[in-house]
Structure 1
Amino acid sequence: MIQTAFRTRLSSKTLLFFAFTLLLFSCKEQAQQTQQPPLVVDFIQLGATNAEVEKKYPGTIEGTVNVDIKAQVTGYLEQIYVKEGDYVKKGQPLFKIKGDVYNEQVNNSKALLEAALAAQATAKLEVEKLKPLVEGKVVSEMQLKTAQSNYEAAAAQVQQARAALGSSKINLDFSVLKAPVSGYIGRIPNRIGNLVMPNDATPLTTLSEINEVLVYFSLSEADYISFAKEGGFQKNANSVELIMADGSVYNHKGRLTVASGNIDKTTGSMSFKAIFPNPQKLLRSGGTARVILKKDFDGVLKVPMGSVKDIQDKFFVFTLGDSSKVSMKSFEVAGKVDGQYIVKSGLKAGEKIATNNIDMLNEGVVVKAVIK
């Protein structure tokens, strides 16, 4: 029994020793944690400056002239003189519709005109024959008046036949479709032998004149008011830039004009167009591009993008406060330029904001601040 009691006391002392050792190590770790040096963070002091901001708007490209080429008479397509993408000059033949029926209409109209001319000549001879007979009182004056009326009717028939001949010639001319303007040929959906008619929904092709091109784009009502108040339209009047579909900047600047003087009730935007020279024909009708408009800001604050936390579409920075503690502040963005946000509201000149280690910062954390 004495040995059992001794072993029990020994076990209790051993457990107490281990517990005390664990508590000692835990206190040391806590002391080490509380004694860690503060995080070193770089800060910059905000100051007012000037900035030029670029805003990009998606646009669609159109030629200065876009013409749908449609058949003006019904018939079978007999010839296609051009290929898709060809450049054609004004008056150049594009398509030929089988014109046999229109040739026959011209021949028929010529024959009718000749018959009308012959009838007119006969009526004139009748009038000339009756005049001396009336003077000699051989025939009555009523017969002369009847003959003169017949002559006038014959003359009217001649005019009618001439008009019919002119109309049939026009229809014959319409069987050959010519380019109304110079430009580039678009898609040609029809093939030789297809029946074409004036009321076809799809044109034979589209012709675009692209020595200059129009790029249509829209500004929101808020952007429109902002540009109008700050003179942005005058600044961009003759210096609009364009980003092409491949991401490169077009090497010619354009002129800015209003495409519509009203704000669209459905979209809440106003349409604009920029006119660009196109000497190398790089820009084609139907293409897309982005229009660059620039706006000046005077006396604004700029914040590096790397200093900003974006949380649910809201922007935050860490500012340095009293006792080297940081606090998180939200702000609104007016634009961005050269890797920096332009502050619209929420921050003031003179405030110091953290520029590194922002993912390790929290509200109220004490830091060792290094002012850059």
Structure 2
Amino acid sequence: MSRFKPFRINYSYVLFFTIIISLNITLNSCSQGSGKNNTNEKKLEVPVFSLKPIDIEVPQTYVCDIQAVQFVEVRAKVEGFVERIFVDEGEEVKEGQPLFQLTSIEYSELVNSARAKLMQARAEAKSAQLEVERLQVLVDKDIYSTSELELAQSKKDMAESAILEAESLLKHAQTGLSYTTIRAPFNGIVDRIPYKTGSLVKSGDLLTNITDISEIFAYYKITENEYLQYMRGQLDTAVDEEALKQQLEENLQEDEEEITLILSDGVEYPHKGKLETMEADFETGTGSIALRVRFPNPDGLIKHGASGKVQMTNTMEDVYLIPQKSTFEIQDYNYVYMLDENNIVNVRSFRPIKRYGLFYLVEGFDGGDRVVLEGLQLLQDGSHVDPKVEDTDEVYRSLNLSL
């Protein structure tokens, strides 16, 4: 018995495909016949504007680390119990004001003992002096030999050295006693106080912090490229990196540019800062270098350790502005439609320097290059269009840009 079934032709399917093929042939013939009229169809009208080079001040922001102009850890220098706390957390203090009192009985006794030894040494020195004077009279009368006088003089010298030792011990004891009273090193604000009255503290234990926030420092980092770009803008000729650093330090002393601080809530700080100095070396690994800005803080609004952003202005010359709506992005590249002298659309890729509002800042274009403003979804590379010329300044104004 045969394993295979006889093949049967389904004539309904054959008829269906025959009709489809006939329709395709007919449509193609019609389209070819009407191709002569395509050239007479109306071209797509698109708005275009011309690029022009401009000089513009671009704000740049950098995350910064905010520190008090003075921040000191107050630590115990001697061991003892906290006897009294004279201040409270968050309180303003003056330089030399007492902050803490540690137990001082032991150190007071050391002072008394050292003072007694000093008195004893002085008495022994005085006695030795009298002995020398007495023997001097007897030697002058040839009653005693000079050896007796020399021995007495040696005892006097030993007594005087004992005075110096006793004075040193007294000063050391007095210094230890003074360490039991901890005072403010400068005018500032008291931070948290971890040890309370009665607590045992050892030498080196942290009692509190004192911060002077009358002024604050904002540290921020720039890349090596930004550093070189800034410096070469200050110099007429390119020089080696070490000379650039030296020149920057000189410029910082003369630079009157006011720098803005943006606080963590996004509000601009009312007082402007002054760029003061920079680090000596680039940071290994990141290739960045830190700069320091000083801001006044008369109201004490900013605290040590706060966060914010430093905003500076960078003047860029001969750059071009392309609206973001005139571009499209594919992977890591941005593209724009441009028109040649025959009004043919050409696609061009570019890498923006940075964003600026609703624009991209770009280089590498030429003044007068025509760019399609909008309607990109209707275009394709090689299309022949009818340009509607837009005034460049009006395009910028419509996108909230004032030049």
TM-score > 0.5 by shorter chain:
yes
Counterpart for residue 133 of structure 1: 138
The 10-residue stretch of structure 1 (335-344 or 206-215) with the greater mean CA deviation from structure 2: 335-344
Counterpart for residue 370 of structure 1: 388
State the Cα deviation string for residues 347-370 of structure 1 (Å, max 9, x = none).
222122222233454333454532
2:165 aligned with 1:160: yes
Deviation at 1:289, TM superposition (A): 2.0
Residues 15 and 283 of structure 1: CA distance in aligned 2, closer, same or farther (over 3 Å) = closer
Counterpart for residue 350 of structure 1: 368
Counterpart for residue 352 of structure 2: 333
Q: Distance in 2 between matches of 1:226 and 1:123?
A: 79
> Which of these residues, 209, 213, 216, is aligned with residue 212 of structure 2?
209
- What aligned pairs does 1:191-206 form with structure 2 within 5 A after superposition? 191-200=196-205, 203-206=206-209
Residue 376 of structure 2 aligns with an amino acid whose one-letter code is: I
Gaps of 5+ in 2: 1-11, 236-247, 391-403
Residue 59 of structure 1 aligns with an amino acid whose one-letter code is: C
- What aligned pairs does 1:141-160 form with structure 2 within 5 A after superposition? 141-160=146-165
Counterpart for residue 312 of structure 1: 331
- Answer whether contact 1:59 1:289 (CA < 8 A) is retained: yes
The 10-residue stretch of structure 1 (297-306 or 161-170) with the greater mean CA deviation from structure 2: 297-306
State the Cα deviation string for residues 71-95 of structure 1 (Å, max 9, x = none).
2222233333233332221111122
Deviation at 1:322, TM superposition (A): 5.9
Residues 162 and 315 of structure 1: CA distance in aligned 2, closer, same or farther (over 3 Å) = same
> Which of these residues, 57, 68, 71, is aligned with residue 73 of structure 2?
68
Deviation at 1:266, TM superposition (A): 2.9
Residue 56 of structure 1 aligns with an amino acid whose one-letter code is: T
What secondary structure is seen at the aligned counterpart in 1 of 2:173? helix
Counterpart for residue 223 of structure 1: 226
TM normalised by structure 2 equals 0.77
State the Cα deviation string for residues 213-247 of structure 1 (Å, max 9, x = none).
22111111110111111239769643122212111
2:93 aligned with 1:95: no
Counterpart for residue 251 of structure 1: 270
What secondary structure is seen at the aligned counterpart in 2 of 1:120? helix
- Answer whether contact 1:238 1:253 (CA < 8 A) is retained: no
State the Cα deviation string for residues 257-283 of structure 1 (Å, max 9, x = none).
332233334321222111112212222
Residue 294 of structure 2 aligns with an amino acid whose one-letter code is: I
- What aligned pairs does 1:40-119 form with structure 2 within 5 A after superposition? 40-119=45-124
Deviation at 1:170, TM superposition (A): 0.9
The 10-residue stretch of structure 1 (257-266 or 99-108) with the greater mean CA deviation from structure 2: 257-266
Deviation at 1:175, TM superposition (A): 1.0
Residue 96 of structure 2 aligns with an amino acid whose one-letter code is: G
Deviation at 1:313, TM superposition (A): 3.3
Q: Distance in 2 between matches of 1:16 and 1:179?
A: 99
Deviation at 1:67, TM superposition (A): 1.8
Q: Distance in 2 between matches of 1:114 and 1:88?
A: 39
Deviation at 1:137, TM superposition (A): 3.7
Residues 250 and 366 of structure 1: CA distance in aligned 2, closer, same or farther (over 3 Å) = same
- What aligned pairs does 1:163-312 form with structure 2 within 5 A after superposition? 163-200=168-205, 203-231=206-234, 237-312=256-331
- Answer whether contact 1:52 1:337 (CA < 8 A) is retained: no
Residues 25 and 180 of structure 1: CA distance in aligned 2, closer, same or farther (over 3 Å) = farther
Deviation at 1:30, TM superposition (A): 8.7
Deviation at 1:15, TM superposition (A): 7.7
What secondary structure is seen at the aligned counterpart in 2 of 1:240? strand
Deviation at 1:341, TM superposition (A): 1.9
Q: Distance in 1 between matches of 2:267 and 2:26?
A: 64
What secondary structure is seen at the aligned counterpart in 1 of 2:272? coil
Residue 214 of structure 2 aligns with an amino acid whose one-letter code is: N
Q: Distance in 2 between matches of 1:149 and 1:15?
A: 138
Q: Distance in 2 between matches of 1:240 and 1:16?
A: 77
Gaps of 5+ in 1: 1-10
Residues 115 and 221 of structure 1: CA distance in aligned 2, closer, same or farther (over 3 Å) = same
- Answer whether contact 1:53 1:335 (CA < 8 A) is retained: no
> Size of the alignment, in residue pairs?
357
What secondary structure is seen at the aligned counterpart in 1 of 2:270? coil
Deviation at 1:337, TM superposition (A): 3.1
- Answer whether contact 1:301 1:343 (CA < 8 A) is retained: yes
Q: Distance in 1 between matches of 2:21 and 2:171?
A: 121
Residues 24 and 159 of structure 1: CA distance in aligned 2, closer, same or farther (over 3 Å) = same
Residues 119 and 52 of structure 1: CA distance in aligned 2, closer, same or farther (over 3 Å) = same
Residue 106 of structure 1 aligns with an amino acid whose one-letter code is: V
Q: Distance in 2 between matches of 1:170 and 1:324?
A: 90
Residue 208 of structure 1 aligns with an amino acid whose one-letter code is: T
Superposed CA RMSD: 3.4
Residue 271 of structure 1 aligns with an amino acid whose one-letter code is: A
